[in-house]
């Protein structure tokens, strides 16, 4: 037994085992979190918390690749130009310049860490480069059509071999701990000048909450695609990092810019399966149910237009025709080439009875990527001291109003590197007195729930609400309906959260409800159409009033 000096409560041995003291706490095990872990491992003890198995990340599902300048006719200036064009006026030019110029070095680093990218067929071991929408040159470094899986596996293997990195699989963060935390079931009283001291984390196997006391905390939890009914994202993408950061008082930005990937496989048994944009880069053509190629009606680049243009075009075609899907046709390409270049997509489609070498693939748009997130500076720091965010969780300024294809993995590694360098410096100079022992988690007054239907019903209703009212095309009336309904659901979910012991499902529901509300609020504020945000009441861009970020902060609670 020992006395907790802050609360005056005696802690038993079991409670002591539920306390973890580390130098670096990383929440998330995708490319951003693991890259950061590898960079800081020699400087302190690292804990990587991930809510499923280590490989269950959005990175693992990324098919396309990493955009980087290697081609003979390519240049940094061209890559910068393409990124700025896609971002539709909201990219930070200094961030774009830094990230793009780091590309070749980052690819080389991943190769050193064991990632085997596809080489070209000339025998000279040069990297094979693909073309995707919005790019004027071939610059997509890839590993077949399962690049993310190859990267994730290499990083997981490397991290597991590090003595100073501990993996905590099947653990989900509940809330951040800050200097101003006042404990009652993990409530955080947010101030606007605060210090992060770690996080409360639920062990989903035992349903016990552990306290992770950390000098540096990194949010690398990925995106929030599961806020929408149709998504290319895995089930883990519930916006946990964004919700936790906002509850703790951090700034979030540009959450109205949700990228809908134009082509997810449309099949009743094909859950979340993405049809890579690289197929259109290799000559794939979008057609309607009559076989008519329609992208020429919407953009001079036709099927290689940016994702927002293609997604809206498909949405428009489906509304006009009443069809359930459109089709992606690559049957004019050599079958052997398709099987070799896209083995994963070929086999997956074949498992559903679709031979992409002989028939068009049915496709629909689906929520894919969050261009907004937790606002960070050039080193990945949030406005809460000692709290960093990297990857899709963060809003760095690279993507602006629309992400250029295959810039996301590049951004994650570049910012993981910059954040690691800054965090190492912070660790050397920090005043440890700013992070006192956090109070233990207090579940007093709660019981086990006997109303699981409340969670499942609200989960389904939020996702349908967001798809129908806050999707590819928005309106003032739809956003108002969405806001009114989400406010009612948030109140119901909050009451449920206080009354019952927390579970994985309840934590995720709480987070998607909060992120949904933030997306609705951001979309309501922006009175124009730009990039991924399209409102039929404001169909034009308004550079005079809206050439700026949409920034939200939780109101101060005294």
Q: Which residues are the active-site residues?
A: 307
Helices (H), 438-503: 452-469, 476-499
Query: In which region does residue 505 sit, left (phi positive, over 0), alpha (psi from -120 to 50) or beta (all else)?
Result: alpha
Confirm if 349 and 331 have CB atoms less than 8 A apart.
no
Q: What is the DSSP letter of 530?
A: B
> What is d(CA 516, CA 243) in angstroms, rounded to the nearest whole number?
10
With 0-12 CB in 10 A as exposed, 13-18 as middle and 19+ as buried, what is 432?
A: exposed
Q: Which of 180, 65, 204, 86 is nearest to 135 (CA)?
A: 86
Q: How far is CA 259 from CA 63, 87, 222, 298, 471, in A?
A: 16, 11, 14, 18, 10
3-state DSSP call for residue 392? helix
3-state DSSP call for residue 346? helix
265 Cβ contact partners less than 8 Å away, ≥ 6 residues apart? 273, 274, 275, 348, 349, 352, 361, 362, 363
> What is d(CA 369, CA 362) in angstroms, rounded to the nearest whole number?
21
Q: Which of 413, 424, 415, 422 is nearest to 152 (CA)?
A: 413
> What is d(CA 188, CA 95) in angstroms, rounded to the nearest whole number?
32
- Helices then strands, counting H and E runs in the chain, come out as 16, 20
> What is d(CA 413, CA 370) in angstroms, rounded to the nearest whole number?
17
> What is d(CA 527, CA 84) in angstroms, rounded to the nearest whole number?
21
Pairing of strands 252-253, 551-552: antiparallel
533 Cβ contact partners less than 8 Å away, ≥ 6 residues apart? 256, 257, 401, 474, 523, 526
Residue 157 has φ and ψ, to the nearest 5°, of -60, -40
Confirm if 388 and 349 have CB atoms less than 8 A apart.
no
3-state DSSP call for residue 380? coil
Q: How many CA atoms lie within 13 A of 356 on its CB side?
A: 32
Largest CA distance in the chain: 75
Helices (H), 47-189: 76-87, 93-101, 103-112, 147-160
């Amino acid at each position: 037994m020992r006395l907790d000096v802050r609360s005056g409560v005696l802690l038993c041995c079991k409670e002591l085992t539920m306390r973890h003291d580390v130098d670096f706490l990383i929440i998330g095990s995708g490319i951003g979190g693991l890259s950061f872990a590898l960079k800081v491992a020699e400087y302190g003890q690292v804990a990587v918390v991930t809510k499923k198995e280590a490989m269950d990340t959005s990175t693992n599902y990324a098919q396309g690749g990493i955009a980087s300048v290697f081609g003979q006719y390519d240049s940094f200036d061209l890559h910068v130009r393409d990124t700025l064009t896609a971002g539709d006026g909201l990219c930070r030019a200094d961030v774009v310049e830094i990230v793009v110029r780091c590309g070749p070095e980052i690819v080389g680093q991943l190769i050193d860490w064991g990632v085997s990218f596809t080489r070209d067929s000339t025998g000279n071991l040069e990297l094979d480069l693909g073309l995707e929408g919005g790019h004027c040159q071939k610059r997509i470094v890839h590993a077949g059509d399962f690049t993310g899986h190859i990267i994730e596996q290499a990083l997981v293997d490397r991290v597991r071999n590090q003595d100073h990195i501990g993996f905590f699989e099947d653990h989900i963060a509940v809330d951040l701990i800050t200097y101003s935390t006042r404990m009652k079931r993990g409530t955080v009283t947010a101030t606007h000048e605060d210090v992060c001291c770690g996080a409360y984390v639920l062990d989903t196997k035992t349903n016990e909450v552990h306290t992770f006391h950390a000098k540096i905390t990194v949010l690398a939890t990925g995106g929030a695609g599961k806020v929408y009914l149709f998504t290319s994202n895995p089930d883990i993408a519930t916006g946990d990092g964004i919700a936790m950061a906002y509850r703790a008082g951090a700034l979030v930005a540009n959450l109205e810019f949700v990228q809908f990937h134009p082509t997810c496989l449309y099949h009743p048994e094909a859950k979340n399966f993405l049809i890579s944009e690289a197929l259109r880069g290799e000559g794939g053509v979008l057609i309607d149910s009559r076989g008519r190629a329609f992208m020429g009606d919407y953009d001079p680049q036709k099927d290689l237009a940016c994702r927002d243009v293609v997604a809206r075009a498909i949405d428009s075609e489906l509304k006009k025709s009443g069809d359930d899907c459109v089709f992606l046709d690559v049957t004019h390409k050599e079958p052997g080439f398709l099987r070799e270049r896209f083995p994963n997509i070929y086999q997956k489609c074949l498992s559903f009875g679709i031979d992409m070498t002989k028939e068009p693939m049915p496709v629909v748009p689906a929520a894919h990527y969050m261009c907004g997130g937790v606002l960070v500076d050039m080193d990945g720091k949030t406005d809460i001291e000692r709290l960093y965010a990297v990857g899709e969780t963060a809003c760095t300024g690279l993507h602006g109003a629309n992400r250029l294809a295959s810039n996301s993995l590049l951004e994650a590694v570049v910012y993981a590197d910059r954040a690691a360098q800054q965090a190492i410096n912070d660790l050397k100079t920090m005043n440890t007195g700013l992070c006192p022992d956090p109070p233990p988690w207090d579940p007093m007054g709660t019981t086990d729930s006997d109303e699981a239907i409340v969670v499942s019903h609200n989960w389904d209703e939020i996702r349908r609400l967001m798809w129908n009212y806050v999707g590819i095309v928005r309106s003032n009336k739809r956003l108002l309906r969405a806001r009114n309904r989400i406010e009612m659901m948030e109140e119901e979910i909050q009451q449920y959260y206080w009354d019952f012991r927390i579970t994985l499902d309840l934590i995720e529901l709480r987070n998607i409800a909060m992120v949904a509300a933030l997306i609705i609020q951001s979309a309501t504020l922006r009175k124009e159409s730009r990039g991924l945000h399209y409102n039929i009441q404001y169909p034009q861009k308004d550079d005079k009033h809206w050439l700026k970020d949409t920034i939200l902060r939780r109101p101060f609670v005294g």
